[in-house]
Chains A and B, each alone.
Chain A
Amino acid sequence: MGNNNPDASVWVYEYGEAYDDLRPAFFIDERIYSDPDLAETVVESAEAALTRAGIIYEVEVTSGKYATRPIGVPTWEEFKQRHFVEGVPLPVRPQPRELILPPSWQQMVRAVDEAYASFRAELIELLTAAFPDRELSVSWDRGPLRRSPGSVDWSEESFGFEITIDASIGDLPAEVALDRVSATLGQQGWQLADPVEVRTGVAVRGSRGLYTVYADARPLRLSLVGKSPLWRSPADPGSDFVIEPR
């Protein structure tokens, strides 16, 4: 059995609790079905089941010579048996019809954005002070991001940010560059561990409150990575947002 259609597809269904945080649920390989109509019926049956369950999902398809069965992902038949016949609950919850914002949501959003702007400015000032005559570049800074799994209950989502700034140190020895930035961090109240040798050079970790930094010096470059704690807005009535360590 199996169809010989050279354009037969493999459909991989991914589900989750946020459109931007999906993972594989199951796949359907049209090539194992005797004809295209039967394969299409199976695809429609799978989609009807997921839609009825109110689940957030999307579908990826590869066809013809590009069609590849995903490794480690159950087939639709296995998935259906487990969740819709045996009744094992789906690991993702349906999207509620109406969004209920946690009480401190707006305050949390403002707090995260303000903390981000302030921390970014501090890191740039810090490296400018340590290397006043060197060029700085921001090499990773996506702003505040969700740092927990996406959730249909927004009180379960937490947010934080990471910023990496590089200083071109030219012929300055890595150890000297690290000493310089360590001194500046110390003046700003950062508690630093002892420097350690790493494959590329020398590095030091530091913390201040719930924030952390990691400075990594190597020939030609010093990178300073700053990380925030995580903000979350609980669902409890009247509650304020919370700031938690990573």
Chain B
Amino acid sequence: MVRLLADHAATDHRLNATEALLDPGRRPRALDLLVELARTATISQYGSLSDFLVDNPGVGNLFDPVSDGINTTPDGASRMKAFEAAARLRDSVRAVGPNPTPTELTLLDDYGIRLRRRVLPAAKREIAALAELLGGQALVSARAKKVNDLLNKVTRMTSDRPNRPARPDYRIGDIIDAVGVRLTVPDMATLEIALGMVKERFGDRILEIENMYAQPKAQAPSYRVIPIIISIETDGLPCTYELQLTTQRASIAADIEHNTIYKPYVNIDEIQEAAVKDAMREAAALDQLESIEQDDDGQ
């Protein structure tokens, strides 16, 4: 953590976790979480996270698989792809590819301005309204990509790269996270309420949910977050944003892993690497246990 803080202080790579440690108001809770993750008291009693999950199945709606009707149309097609196909007919900038013409660049400039001035505030406002209902400890942050950022992503996605074959048809509109909002909640009970509220409030506007509590990712089974793609219309034009729901515990564990292992901004040795992975497993296990304990309490 000291080295992550040093990296943060050097303005290289900030994290929500390091921001929390530097903020006197959020520091006590962040330290408590770090201590419990470092102790690995729960996961050390099991041979693997999957052994733990078998013995301690999650309880509550958070662990229900995403129902088919959310991510797919009745004929089995992706609702997100169907949305994008229709949106492209209404907003031609969404079809711009890696080598834009001068006319398309003008459209892109407008799109970049619209993302920041219209979509970003609207998306942030509707999630902040949910956060208000969740109580004072839910945190909201939002971000928007700008034109060169969008074009860089399209260029990289349309080219062959290791582990990622080219997607020659990838276009600006396929960047579904051009605007992103993150809602970080203090515990699993609040996360469950937040997910329920999002489903109720946004209904058909939800185009895709990936629930890593219910269905962990095969390549990173201890990573816990719920990304949700939500459609939004501003000034009569369709767009999407990605909402990420996460707990403070999962966020801190993922942050540490992100800047040391996934993107090795801070070099660590094998022993530290094992400790970071243990902290990720512990976070997943503790979130799961918290859901069980809350259910036992009748909540």
Contact = CB atoms under 8 A, between A and B. Distances in A.
Contacts of B144: 58-59, 61
Nearest to B161: A109
B141 A50 contact: no
Contacts of B147: 51
A175 B148 CA distance: 54
A59 B273 contact: no
12 contacts: A18-B156, A57-B149, A58-B149, A73-B11, A99-B159, A140-B220, A143-B163, A145-B163, A166-B47, A199-B271, A203-B271, A223-B277
A168 B48 contact: yes
Interface string B98-112: 110000000000000
Contacts of B222: 139
A71 B159 contact: no
Given A109-B160, A216-B274, A168 B10 contact: no
Interface string A9-52: 00000000011111110000000000000000000000100110
Contact of A138 (B10, B153, B219): B219
Nearest to B40: A200
Contacts of A23: 11-14
Interface residues of B, number: 62
Interface stretch (A62-70, A80-88, A122-130, A182-190): A62-70
A137 B162 contact: no
B99 A98 contact: yes
Nearest to B9: A72
Interface of A: 18-24, 47, 50-51, 54-64, 66, 68, 70-74, 94-95, 98-99, 101, 105-106, 108-109, 112-113, 116, 135, 137-147, 159, 161-162, 164, 166, 168-170, 198-200, 203, 205, 214, 216, 218-221, 223, 225, 231
B155 to A, nearest CB: 6
Given A66-B140, A216-B274, A144 B160 contact: no
A50 B112 CA distance: 13
A244 to B, nearest CB: 15
A189 to B, nearest CB: 20
B53 to A, nearest CB: 11
A218 to B, nearest CB: 8
B140 A62 contact: yes
B124 interface: yes
B277 A164 contact: yes
A140 B47 contact: no
Given A56-B152, A95-B148, A142-B220, A64 B277 contact: no
